[in-house]
Amino acid sequence: MSPARQGTAAGPNKVCRDPAPGGRWRGAATARAMKVLIVEDELKVGQFIERALTEQSHTAHLVGSCAEARDALADSAYEAVILDLGLPDGDGLDLLREWRGAGFNEPVLILSARDAVNDRIRGLNHGADDYLAKPFSLEELLARIRALLRRQGGAKSTQLTHGDIRMDLLARSVTAAGQPVELTNREFALLELFLQNRGRVLTRTMIAERIWEASYEMETNLIDVYVRRLRKKLGATEERPLIRTLRGTGYQLT
């Protein structure tokens, strides 16, 4: 199959670059660089999409199997997934069900050659946010992704809570048990990441990538320091550590 009906090259997109350290975590619904996972075993199609997203200043990561997709999502946080269904080691629908069951809430667009109405319905019932049949137009794919991200951004609450912790993303304020808590930009970003991923295990790599935009070994000690500081500022105790350390894996908000 030909990769896709050729769309014209997408025009330059306005992308808000991070204005300052921690600035990307303001939770605003503005267009900004996104990290997108492409699960596609047809290399040509995958690379075609990857290139288009990269040209629009997004970060795209291409994988070609269910196993690689699982690893990618376990290692890193993505803001959207483009998912093929017919994969060499399984069905994309099973992957999707798995992810939704594990609490992965980011938008997923199914891109598949299966284009019967029933296939579309099944995909949406399994937790997909959109469904595009192959062959597809690149312009349409990009427009749909943008729409998904916009909806996602708009739907995101500006208030995050967990137990007695309240975070206001617009006011950039945090309270614990009703008392204001002063956080630095990085601490704020880290707490927001935990609150956005309640119950999910965040690996050190994932945290380093999202908060420090790096994944160097040296950064990992830094994460421990920041987590300890957060616990202290938020009044965590030994009985209620708030952020659980999972040896050799990462952290989990409890």
Q: Which residue is nearest to Ca ion (CB)?
A: 86
Nearest distance from C-beta of residue 59 to Ca ion, angstroms: 23
Which range binds Ca ion by CB under 5 A, 33-41, 49-57, 75-83, 183-191? 33-41
Least separation in angstroms between CB 42 and Ca ion: 6
- Angle, helices 185-196/217-233, rounded to nearest 10 degrees: 90
Per-residue x/- mask for Ca ion, residues 81 to 110, rule CB under 5 A? Answer: ---x-x------------------------
Binding region for Ca ion (CB under 5 A) out of 41-49, 60-68, 171-179, 195-203: 41-49
H helix or E strand, kind and range, residue 250: strand 250-253
- Angle in degrees, 0-180, between the axes of helices 66-75 and 92-101, rounded to the nearest 10: 30
Residue 143 beta carbon to Ca ion: minimum distance, rounded to whole angstroms: 22
Query: Any contact of residue 135 with Ca ion (CB under 5 A)?
Result: no
The verdict on 41 binding Ca ion (CB under 5 A) reads yes
Q: Which CB, 90 or 235, lies closer to Ca ion?
A: 90
Query: Can you tell me the distance from the alpha carbon of 59 to that of 70, in angstroms, rounded to the nearest whole number?
Result: 18
Shortest Å, Cβ 99 to Ca ion: 18
Cis peptide leading into 19, omega within 30 of 0?
A: no
Q: Which residue has the tokens 């803001």?
A: 79
Please report how close the Cβ of residue 64 comes to Ca ion at its closest, in angstroms: 9
Alpha-carbon span 105 to 155, nearest angstrom: 12
Q: How far is CA 58 from the centre of its chain?
A: 13
119 binds Ca ion (CB under 5 A): no
Q: Closest by alpha carbon to 81, among 46, 30, 116?
A: 46
Of residues 23, 24, 71, 48, the one with CA closest to residue 206? 71
Total residues at interface with Ca ion (CB under 5 A): 3
Residues 57 to 86: which contact Ca ion by CB under 5 A?
84, 86
Instruction: Please answer whether residues 82 and 41 qualify as being in contact, where contact means their C-beta atoms are separated by less than 8 angstroms.
Output: no
Residues that bind Ca ion (CB under 5 A): 41, 84, 86
